Amino acid sequence: MSQNLLSLDGVTKSHDGRPLIVDATMGIDAGNKIGIIGANGAGKSTLLNIIAGRLDADAGRVIMRKNTRMAFLEQVPTLDPTVTVRDALEDGLVELRRAIEAYQRAATNMQAESAPLLEKIEQLGGWDYQHRIDEVAAQLNVPNLNAEIGHLSGGEKRRVALAQVVLQQPELLLVDEPTNHLDTNTVDWLEQWLIESKAAVILVTHDRYFLDDVVEHLWELREGTLKSYAGNYTDYLAARAIEMAHSERTQHRQLRILMTELEWARRSPSARSTKQQARLERLDKAQEELSKRGGETFVNEFRFGKPPRLGGRILEFADVHMSYAERSLIDGLTLEMCRGERIGIIGPNGCGKSTLLELILGNQKPTTGHITIGKNTRMAYFDQQRALLDPQATVREIVAPDGADVVAPGGGAATVVVQAWLDRFGFPVPTHGRTVDSLSGGERNRLAIARFLLEEANLLLLDEPTNDLDIPTLNILEDALIHFPGCVLVVTHDRYFLDKVCTGIIAFEYEYLEPGTVTFVQGNYSHYAGVRLKELKERAATDTKDRARAQRQQRASERNEPHGRNEKTSGKPESKKKGLTYGERIELEKLEPTIEECDAMIRNLERELTAPDIWRDDPGKARTIHDELETTRKRSAELFARWEELMTRREQLN
């Protein structure tokens, strides 16, 4: 039976007189994986802060099991800018370090309480925490451990904060927007770590693949009410659709958005496995229920007028190279964009994705090569739109500054009534008179998208448009881009968005290949990940093994002086070097596969030793694995030394 870690009992909270959370009552057991969803401003982060004890509820209470180890990964990490990365990571292990110091004092004085302290140390990750810091930092691609926090980018600080909570090995982990500022490789690692961890997790995120892969329960916060749904995001969609189909309050706009999302969930790559058949049946039933309400009438409601006509040439890259401070960002990109293409741009933080957009816009010049913009190509850039919202303008004035009653999506001939256009983006009539400076960050982003999609353009450039958007707004943006009659280039880490919208992927691949390597692949992100990325990871694993082998050979070479020098000199002429005996030749042939087996064993043992919670849950097993790993590493070094000796003798005769 699962052990209860935390309970919410009638928790209520208001902000500026508006109820955010009303009488929320929930329970969290050990190991639960819970996702919280809701519109921007609904109170999701407020609820996390109440659970964390950083904010008081107006009424009700949070009951937490005594001595529960809790960690909180905030949306904006609070890190001391003056300390080094290593210092910051050690701060995350303060409880472990105190336990080690207390144990050492108790053991020195032969005190009885040393035994429970020893158990606590094992629960918190063991003695060798410096090795653990190095290990986690490498897994999360944390920057130079000696660098000061104040010199790091937002994404780098996010990875440091993430490493802190991983090192803490909490029993309850609260996470606010875990995928913000993380590249896809780090998100993949985080997903796997959370799945394997025995910690209970409560997370707020708009990353729908993350919600599908990690969570087992969804809490939706809507109009102050917190409601629980069993299963992941796809299960939630089906359950919510059936609810909406039978609700008299459901609006046609809500039906249309949900129908679009259900249709995509049925066709998405994750829905194709045989394991998903029961889930697909629930989605089919949900679609059928919605159709009875007329939802199918609204699936393709998003319509643009004809944008400026694209010419034969839209956008071309001809052997484009771009370097910055002697660092290669783009090394020889050649690409021609075709009509109707929607291309996603992916890669690690700081690799040059935004620089690529700046090159297209003409704000920067390539080091060498040429970028050609078609004569009829008209561009609109989303990042600029966020900056151009006048804080004193009203919501209505942002989309209709001239006071018009209608607007033209995409600058085409087809028009939409302003009231209907704003309502589509979650701004009902009572909000039209609000000024921009009174809106939340998420509301401003929604308004920016509503304004952006009115631009007279046939090539849309978007830089991280999904950041800080709630799921309903993401659905609207995706629907709009899919039906946009021009071309789209978008920088994003959102895999769901990339799968749903994009027809091609531009990938910055310097993590696996040479700096500046940029590749174009037709298809969506899942196609890229299943073909190209899989190949790159396998190649990287082979390269890592080869490098490790070379390093071990070098170490073996340094330990062993060239053969013959350790012999005492007698003044006699050196005898003729002997070749390998028959037995030694057989031994040499067998050494290579034996070394390969050692390498494989080392990798498996390292993988077992880095499994979440192993030091806490089974310290005896962890120590056994650690000892076996050290023995295997020693044997590997001895085998390499012997292999080198035999190879050297054989080569001396050639």
> Roughly what angle, to the nearest 10 degrees, separates helices 277-292 and 233-245?
20
CB contact at 8 A, 458 and 307: yes
Residue 106: what pLDDT? Answer: 66
Coil/strand/helix, residue 336: strand
Of the chain, the end-to-end C-alpha distance in Å amounts to 70
Q: Which residue type sits at 524?
A: N
pTM: 0.72
* Alpha carbon distance 576, 385 (integer Å): 81
* Alpha carbon distance 538, 544 (integer Å): 10
Residue 224: what pLDDT? Answer: 94
Residue 569: what pLDDT? Answer: 37
The structural domains of the chain, with segments of one domain joined by +, span 4-236, 242-298, 315-525, 560-564+577-652
* CB atoms closer than 10 angstroms to residue 81: 11
* CB atoms closer than 10 angstroms to residue 501: 25
Q: Does domain 4-236 have CATH number 3.40.50.300?
A: yes
Phi, psi at 455, each rounded to 5°: -60, 145
SS (H, E, C) 354-372: HHHHHHHHCCCCCCEEEEE
Residue 634: what pLDDT? Answer: 79
Q: Which residue type sits at 12?
A: T
The two tokens of residue 292 are 């009875």
Pairing of strands 416-417, 406-407: antiparallel
Residue 297: what pLDDT? Answer: 36
CB contact at 8 A, 497 and 393: no
Instruction: Give me the residues of the chain with pLDDT under 50, please.
Output: 272, 274, 294-300, 544-545, 547-548, 551-552, 555-556, 558-577
Residue 163: what pLDDT? Answer: 92
Residue 365: what pLDDT? Answer: 94
Q: What is the pLDDT of residues 391-428, one digit of tens each?
A: 999 999 999 999 999 998 876 667 889 998 998 888 88
* Alpha carbon distance 122, 76 (integer Å): 31
Residue 113: what pLDDT? Answer: 60
Q: What is the pLDDT of residues 479-510, one digit of tens each?
A: 889 888 889 999 999 999 999 999 999 999 87
Please state which CATH class domain 315-525 belongs to.
alpha beta
Closest CA to 355 of 385, 387, 321: 321
* Alpha carbon distance 616, 185 (integer Å): 27
In 524-618, which residue ranges form alpha helices assigned H by DSSP?
Answer: 525-528, 534-559, 582-609, 614-617
Q: Which residue type sits at 485?
A: P
Phi, psi at 18, each rounded to 5°: -100, 125
Rounded to whole angstroms, what are the CA distances from 565 to 125, 323, 426, 489, 568? Answer: 46, 49, 81, 65, 8
* CB atoms closer than 10 angstroms to residue 421: 21
CB contact at 8 A, 8 and 60: yes
